[in-house]
């Protein structure tokens, strides 16, 4: 019997346990309001996997090498961040003053700032420098409860640098406890050397796919479909050719203008359509009728201060699956804090706590083809687990501006634990 087996670790005295174990597939529409909450729960880990889930009382008869008293804390799957630009050189803090003065983005570009600033810094950085920087940011993501991360290239816009970014992401995945899912975003912008020749640039980026496939450097291909970048038609043809090569595809769609990128994403079977702030009613309806997941990035809307956020409620009402992400990048969302994104989802996207938790776990996992291994706790699945310093699951989306994680486990091993204040501080 299970109760007679010896486990590596038992976590008991759990106040609330969220497993996200609702069956197969992402949660869509009204399903996103469902949340299985077990109180006074316990779970056991063996060989890096969840081996048993039950009650605190049942756990008392189980044997384990290590026991962790959750002290009534909330316990959930590790969070999944399905849209980040993790690997890049430099930073862009000096642009803040210009933005506050009302200097237009195009003028910032002329002054050597904007995305081309990051492209230049990334091209100049060595592989080791990029790896060190990306590891720093990834460690910070873990401290906020994230255990699986998507990482895009897109700050090279040329063959050597795009491949360099992807190699760094692959090295991180191989050497770091977190799981990294790589996306090729060579079609992120049009570099100055290809000004007026965007079709030629896209052909050059497509030529990289053979090298990417050979080196197993990326699973997804993405493109920035937006006014002044790549058209819907260009994006469709680019992603179709990537699919023919065997890649899964994503799309930066309708971030600013309702060009029809959302509809196109659903037509070609994109795993996800991301941003979608300007998605049309037709596009939103199409999301509800297909399996394409809407990955929403409220941190970008917040940081750019445009006053408009994606219509999450309309998408869920239409029956769509919604996921949330930081969009961590140096220009429009310089934050590794997925918990803050959960706050914004509550305040600006009007999502309920139940919808938010599903959007940062199981739905986010499916948005990067990891629905079978991340975002859910069930026997036989990876023991990617977060213990939260909160009394219930409503609390994290409610209390903003602080880090609520207490302990983060990856494959059953603790990779982050909150440091306690020195005793003399509380003594005062």
Q: Identify any residues that bridge with 416 across adjacent strands, giving them in sequence order.
A: 408
Q: 């948005």: which residue's tokens?
A: 367
Q: Can you give the pLDDT at residue 419?
A: 80
Q: Do domains 6-77+376-417 and 79-367 have the same CATH topology?
A: no
pLDDT over threshold 80, residue 3: no
What's the CATH class of domain 6-77+376-417? mainly beta
Q: What's the whole-number mean pLDDT along residues 202-231?
A: 97
- Which range, of 66-70, 87-91, 421-425, averages the lowest pLDDT? 421-425
Confidence bin at 100 (pLDDT 50/70/90):
confident
> Which residues make up each annotated binding site for 4-imidazolone-5-propanoate?
92, 155, 188, 255, 332
Q: Can you give the pLDDT at residue 5?
A: 77
Q: CB within 8 A of 332, min separation 6: which ones?
A: 300, 303, 304
> Which residues make up each annotated binding site?
83, 85, 92, 155, 188, 252, 255, 327, 329, 331-332
Confidence bin at 84 (pLDDT 50/70/90):
very high
Confidence bin at 4 (pLDDT 50/70/90):
low
Q: What's the whole-number mean pLDDT along residues 303-328?
A: 96
Q: Does domain 79-367 have CATH number 3.20.20.140?
A: yes
Q: Can you give the pLDDT at residue 420?
A: 67
> Which residues make up each annotated binding site for N-formimidoyl-L-glutamate?
155, 329, 331
Contact 314, 117 (CB under 8 A): no
Confidence bin at 105 (pLDDT 50/70/90):
confident
- Which range, of 18-22, 91-95, 164-168, 328-332, averages the lowest pLDDT? 91-95
pLDDT over threshold 60, residue 239: yes
Q: Can you give the pLDDT at residue 112?
A: 74
Percent over 70 (pLDDT), the chain = 96
Q: Are strands 405-410 and 413-417 parallel, antiparallel or unpaired?
A: antiparallel
pLDDT digits (tens, 9 = 90+) for 199-213: 999 999 999 999 999
What average pLDDT does the structure give for the chain?
Answer: 95
CA distances in angstroms from 291 to 93, 193, 203, 389, listed in the order given: 38, 38, 28, 35
pTM of the predicted structure, to 2 decimals: 0.96
Contact 149, 384 (CB under 8 A): no
Tokens at 241, concatenated: 């050719």
Q: Can you give the pLDDT at residue 421?
A: 56
- Which range, of 1-5, 126-130, 154-158, averages the lowest pLDDT? 1-5
Q: What is the gyration radius of the CA atoms in the chain, in angstroms?
A: 22
pLDDT over threshold 50, residue 428: no
pLDDT digits (tens, 9 = 90+) for 111-132: 778 899 999 999 999 999 999 9
**For the residues of 313-331, what is the DSSP string, one character each?**
HHHHHTT--EEE----BTT
Tokens at 408, concatenated: 């983060």
pLDDT digits (tens, 9 = 90+) for 43-76: 999 999 999 999 999 999 999 999 999 999 999 9
Q: Can you give the pLDDT at residue 106?
A: 63
Q: Can you give the pLDDT at residue 335?
A: 98
pLDDT over threshold 60, residue 2: no
Q: Identify any residues that bridge with 221 across adjacent strands, giving them in sequence order.
A: 184, 249
Give CA 390 to chain center in angstroms.
22
> Which residues make up each annotated binding site for Zn(2+)?
83, 85, 252, 327
Q: Can you give the pLDDT at residue 299?
A: 98
Count Cβ atoms below 10 Å from residue 49 Cβ, excluding itself: 16
Q: What's the whole-number mean pLDDT along residues 29-56?
A: 97
> Which residues make up each annotated binding site for Fe(3+)?
83, 85, 252, 327
User: Structural domain boundaries of the chain?
Assistant: 6-77+376-417, 79-367
pLDDT over threshold 70, residue 291: yes
- Which range, of 239-248, 252-261, 346-355, averages the lowest pLDDT? 252-261
Confidence bin at 423 (pLDDT 50/70/90):
very low
Confidence bin at 33 (pLDDT 50/70/90):
very high
């Amino acid at each position: 019997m299970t109760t007679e087996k010896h486990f590596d670790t038992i976590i008991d005295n759990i106040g609330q346990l969220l497993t996200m174990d609702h069956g197969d597939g992402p949660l869509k529409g009204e399903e996103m309001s469902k949340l299985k909450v077990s109180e006074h729960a316990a779970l056991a880990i063996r060989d890096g996997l969840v081996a048993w889930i039950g009650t605190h009382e049942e756990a008392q008869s189980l044997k384990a090498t290590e026991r962790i008293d959750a002290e009534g804390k909330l316990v959930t799957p590790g969070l999944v961040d399905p849209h980040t630009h993790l690997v890049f050189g430099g930073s862009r803090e000096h642009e803040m003053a210009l933005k506050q003065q009302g200097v237009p983005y195009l003028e910032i570009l002329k002054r050597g700032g904007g995305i081309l600033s990051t492209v230049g810094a990334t091209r100049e950085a060595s592989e080791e420098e990029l790896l060190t920087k990306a590891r720093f940011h990834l460690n910070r993501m873990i401290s906020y409860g994230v255990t699986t991360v998507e990482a895009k290239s897109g700050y090279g816009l040329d063959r050597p640098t795009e491949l360099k970014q992807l190699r760094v992401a692959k090295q991180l995945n191989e050497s770091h406890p977190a799981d990294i899912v790589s996306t090729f975003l060579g079609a992120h912008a049009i570099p100055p050397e290809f000004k007026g020749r965007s079709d030629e640039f896209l052909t050059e980026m497509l030529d990289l796919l053979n090298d990417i496939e050979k080196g197993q450097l990326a699973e997804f291909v993405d493109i920035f479909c937006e006014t002044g970048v790549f058209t819907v038609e260009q994006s469709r043809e680019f992603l179709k050719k990537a699919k023919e090569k065997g890649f899964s595809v994503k799309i930066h769609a309708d971030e600013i203008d309702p060009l029809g990128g959302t509809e196109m994403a659903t037509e070609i079977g994109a795993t996800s359509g991301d941003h979608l702030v300007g998605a049309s009613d037709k596009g939103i309806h199409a999301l509800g009728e297909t399996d394409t997941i809407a990955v929403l990035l409220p941190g970008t809307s917040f940081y750019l201060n445009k006053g408009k956020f994606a219509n999450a409620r309309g998408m869920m009402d239409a029956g769509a699956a919604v996921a949330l992400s930081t969009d961590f990048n140096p220009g429009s969302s310089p934050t590794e804090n997925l918990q803050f994104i959960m706050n914004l989802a509550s305040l600006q996207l009007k999502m309920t706590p139940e919808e938010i938790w599903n959007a940062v776990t199981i739905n986010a996992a499916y948005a990067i083809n990891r629905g079978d291994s991340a975002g859910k706790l069930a026997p036989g699945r990876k023991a990617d687990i977060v213990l939260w310093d909160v009394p219930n699951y409503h609390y994290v989306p409610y209390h903003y501006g602080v880090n609520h994680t207490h302990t983060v486990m990856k494959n059953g091993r603790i990779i982050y634990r909150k440091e306690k204040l020195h005793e003399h501080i509380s003594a005062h």
